[in-house]
């Protein structure tokens, strides 16, 4: 089988050879993008896990400064960048009940602006994948057309339709098509998978942002924020008391604000 492929490649004309070289370059680009995107998404997921607990604790303690500093430390996480931008924009208006709606609006605008930047950054590399997935098969089709033309030309020169006269051209046509499909299929799969992964990521980010917006609305009212902080402190004391008496701690009242 290997000898058959080698013989077919050796019989390629200049057009088929050029198309094959382009296909090889395309496959290298697809593989490079796959490795870089896998490393990037893995790094961002690890940064988000490291960010989530500290940021959640800072919000539960009603400490926006700590939350902002924690987000700055873990800026490789897309969640940290968006939620940090929201809290940072709303911080000057916290503890002001009359400006609660304005604080939430400012935070939402800042978060959306950061999401736009992140979208451009995270979707970088998807364009080449889409282009390769769409054009690799067309290049293979071009090789097919050229190979069939060569087969008919060889048939005319031989003055007959023997299989020996057209075998080289037909083999060239079929092989360029096969190479094009081998390049295009992984590119389309990778493009589709990355698009779905990023869509889920931004959906989870929107959910976390809405919870942070609710936190901003609550903590723009000093008496509510103070009551919640005192309640969290009392819950902590109760949990310590329960542990001393070997009782299970109570479930926390606040839910998770950050996707783990």
DSSP annotation string for 35-53: HHHHHHHHHHHHHHHHHHH
94 φ, ψ (degrees, to nearest 5): -70, 155
Domain assignment present for residue 221? The answer is yes
Q: How confident is the model at residue 167 (pLDDT cuts 50, 70, 90)?
A: low
- Distance between CA atoms of 249 and 240, rounded to whole angstroms? 8
* Chain segment 34-74, per-residue pLDDT in tens: 999 999 999 999 999 989 889 989 888 888 889 999 899 99
Domain assignment present for residue 4? The answer is no
**Which of 177, 143, 128, 173 shows the shortest CA–CA distance to 26?**
128
Domain assignment present for residue 93? The answer is yes
**pLDDT at position 224, please?**
47
Distances, alpha carbon 35 to alpha carbons 61, 182, 250, in Å: 40, 18, 44
Task: Please compute the mean of the pLDDT values over residues 235-259 and round it to a whole number.
Answer: 42
Q: Degrees (nearest 5) of the Cα angle 32, 36, 38? A: 115
Task: Please compute the mean of the pLDDT values over residues 83-88 and round it to a whole number.
Answer: 91
**pLDDT at position 244, please?**
38
The whole-chain average pLDDT of the chain stands at 79
Domain assignment present for residue 148? The answer is no
Span between the terminal Cα atoms of the chain, in Å: 50
**pLDDT at position 53, please?**
87
Contacts of 219 (CB under 8 A, 6+ apart): 62, 64, 94, 95, 225, 228
Domain assignment present for residue 149? The answer is no
| Predicted confidence (pLDDT) at residue 144 exceeds the cutoff of 90 | no
For residue 47, give its domain range: 15-140+185-244
Residue 154 near residue 237 (C-beta atoms within 8 A): no
Domain assignment present for residue 237? The answer is yes
Q: How confident is the model at residue 248 (pLDDT cuts 50, 70, 90)?
A: very low
Give the number of domains in the chain: 1
pTM for this prediction: 0.72
Domain assignment present for residue 163? The answer is no
Q: Degrees (nearest 5) of the Cα angle 172, 190, 137? A: 25
Domain assignment present for residue 172? The answer is no
């Amino acid at each position: 089988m290997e000898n058959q492929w080698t013989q077919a490649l050796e019989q390629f004309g200049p057009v088929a050879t050029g198309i094959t070289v382009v296909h090889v370059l395309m496959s290298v680009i697809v593989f490079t993008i796959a490795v870089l995107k896998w490393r990037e998404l893995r790094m961002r997921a690890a940064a988000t896990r490291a960010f989530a607990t500290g940021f959640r604790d800072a919000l539960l303690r009603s400490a926006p400064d700590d939350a902002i500093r924690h987000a700055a430390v873990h800026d490789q996480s897309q969640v940290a960048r968006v939620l940090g931008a929201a809290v940072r924009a709303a911080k000057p208006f916290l503890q002001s009940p009359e400006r609660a709606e304005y604080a939430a609006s400012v935070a939402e605008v800042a978060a959306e602006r950061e999401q736009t930047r992140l979208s451009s950054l995270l979707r970088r590399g998807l364009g080449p994948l889409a282009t390769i997935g769409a054009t690799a098969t067309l290049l293979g089709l071009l090789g097919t057309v050229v190979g069939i033309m060569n087969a008919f030309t060889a048939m005319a020169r031989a003055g007959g339709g023997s299989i020996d006269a057209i075998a080289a051209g037909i083999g060239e046509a079929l092989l360029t098509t096969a190479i094009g499909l081998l390049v295009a299929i992984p590119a389309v799969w990778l493009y589709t998978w990355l698009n779905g992964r990023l869509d889920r990521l931004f959906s989870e980010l929107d959910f976390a942002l809405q919870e942070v917006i609710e936190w901003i609305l609550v903590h723009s009212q000093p008496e509510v924020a103070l009551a919640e902080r005192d309640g969290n402190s009392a819950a902590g004391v109760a949990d310590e008391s329960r542990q001393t008496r070997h009782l299970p701690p109570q479930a926390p009242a606040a839910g998770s604000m950050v996707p783990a």
